[in-house]
Amino acid sequence: METEEIKKQQDLTWLENLQKNSWEPEVIISGIILAVLFIIPSRLFDISVILVQDYGLEQIPATLILVYFSLIISVFKLFLVIHLVMRFIWAGMLGITYAFPEGVIKEKLFKYSQSTEYSHPNAYLIKLERWCSILYGFPISVAIPMFTITVYLLILIGIYLVFNLEFQIVYVIFMLTIIALGLSPLLGKPSKLKDSIGKSMSGTVGAVYQSNLGKWAFASFSMVLIFISIPFISQDLDGFSSFQIQANLDEEDFEYPKDQGYFEEYNSDKKRFARIWTPIKQTNREVMELFLPIYKREKDATSKINSLLPKDSIPWQNVDSYENQFRILLNDSLISISKWTPVLAGHTNQPALMTQLPIGHLTQGVHEIRVEKITYLEPLLGAGDDIRYRKKWARFNFIKD
């Protein structure tokens, strides 16, 4: 019994010393994690694009994954940056208290300042230490629940891809789970779900912050944090809508095409292409190489499109292959392309179909390539299971010398 008491006292002493000297690992960990967090979003973007194009993941779940991960990363970025800034101020105050342990010496001030009451620097040092510790732990209460939800969504998506299920099934299961989790804290009676949430790390940390800072202050601050993260999330998602190939381009993107999305020479970030592309913008060659990215889900939908075409008024011939889902127009004139060759192309060697478009007959100047597409909409909550004609699917201008 005495041995247990001694060990317990040793553990408490170790914990107190660790708490007092926690600033050293805090600063080191913050710096390392921040460096990693600024790299992760672009990698997540690339992985999501691969899942959409090569594995047939639909745009909605891919966007949800990106949004959730981006929110988690943004929360940590905000807090770690603020934490490092406050630790910098804390280090400055620590130096001041060491250099001037007596604090303010009123007798040595100008007379008009001697009547003012000044706090000792130690008071600010203690406050800064407390707030640094509070800020360092707060992301756990927000990020871990979001991470848990994201992992759960990833598991559902894995099942959906492996067994080739309809996304609406996964979507309903996911939303019902989120609703159940949202309503469980409101239940007055104890439940296993409620107890398991309370005993989890995020539940405990959240309860600690709510009980010490105030429940409404905690809830309000969490909401403000999410709103602050929106611009960062929007930045991380920039360009991802182009990979929603079942939709037309936005009016702005259609009227003012971005060269980096259509020409390899302007794709300095070496990202995958979302729609049609070609190597260079200005050419004097007799033919132009065109590449169509392959989307697995669109390729698998070929038979569904073909079966629905006779029942629809869309002016489109039979779709017996993936490339037949597209129409290439040169200066608004439909071009008949007899051969598409499967290749690995672009900076990332993405799967694509390549063809050579004759342009030797064109005059010098600016010319336009436009692509139309017929697409199949998957069923989702009573909608979809239909085909659509996308007239503004892709468009770019090139220069013929």
- pLDDT at residue 11 greater than cutoff 50: no
Between CA 83 and CA 171 the distance in angstroms is: 37
pLDDT tens, position by position, 113-163: 778 888 888 888 888 888 887 887 777 777 778 888 888 888 988 888 888
Q: Which residue has the higher pLDDT, 22 or 6?
A: 22
Token pair 């403000």 in the structure block, residue: 224
Q: Is the pLDDT of residue 34 over 90?
A: no
Do the beta carbons of residue 32 and residue 113 sit within 8 Å? no
Instruction: Please give the residue that has the higher pLDDT: either 173 or 181.
Output: 173
Round to whole Å and give the CA distance between 372 and 378: 19
Report how far residue 351's alpha carbon sits from residue 343's, in angstroms, rounded to the nearest whole number.
Answer: 6
pLDDT score, position 185 = 62
Q: What pLDDT, on the 0 to 100 scale, is given for residue 15?
A: 45
Q: Where are the domains of the chain?
A: 2-237, 245-400
Distance between CA atoms of residues 42 and 82, nearest Å: 23
pLDDT, tens digit (0-9, with 9 covering 90-100), for 312-370? 888 888 888 999 999 999 999 999 998 999 999 988 999 999 999 999 999 999 999 99
- Token pair 């099942």 is found at 159
Instruction: Indicate if the pLDDT at residue 307 is higher than 50.
Output: yes
Percent of the chain with pLDDT over 70: 90
Lowest mean pLDDT among 6-15, 173-182, 377-386: 6-15
**Residue 87 — very low, low, confident or very high, per pLDDT cuts 50/70/90?**
confident
Mean pLDDT of the chain: 85
Q: 251-256 contacts: CB < 8 A, separation 24 or more?
A: 254/392, 254/395
Alpha carbons 24 and 27: distance in angstroms, whole number: 6
| Nearest by Cα to 315 from 260, 374, 395 | 374
How confident is the model over 102-123, as a mean pLDDT? 84
Is 267:281 a contact under the CB 8 Å cutoff? no
At residue 302 the predicted structure's pLDDT band, cuts being 50, 70 and 90, is very high
Torsional class of 294: left (φ above 0), alpha (ψ -120 to 50), beta (otherwise) = beta
Count Cα atoms within 13 angstroms, Cβ side, for 313. 0
Q: Give the residue-averaged pLDDT of 27-52.
A: 84
